[in-house]
Amino acid sequence: MKVGFVGLGIMGRPMAKNLVRAGYELVVNDFNKEAVADLVSMGAQAASSNKEVASQCEVLITMLPNSPHVRTVALGEDGLVEGFKEGSILIDMSSIDPVESKKIAADLAAKGIDMLDAPVSGGEPKAIDGTISVMVGGKKETFDKYCDILEPMAGSVVYVGEIGSGNVAKLANQIIVAVNIAAVSEALTFAKKAGADPQLVYEAIRGGLAGSTVLDAKAPMMMDGNYKPGFRIELHIKDLTNALNAGHSIASPLPLTGQLMEIMQGLKADGCEKEDHSAIVKYYEKISGTSIVK
Catalytic (active-site) positions: 170
Do 132 and 124 meet the contact criterion of CB atoms below 8 Å apart? no
Q: In angstroms, rounded to a whole number, what is the distance separating the alpha carbons of residues 224 and 208?
A: 23
Whole-angstrom Cα distance, residue 148 to residue 293? 44
Nearest CA among 250, 265, 14 for reference residue 122 = 14
Task: Classify residue 151 by its DSSP letter.
Answer: G
Residues 126 and 212: their CA atoms lie apart, in Å, by 17
Q: State how far the Cα of 10 lies from the Cα of 115, in Å rounded to an integer.
A: 23
Strand 132-137 to strand 154-161: parallel, antiparallel, or no bridges (unpaired)? Answer: parallel
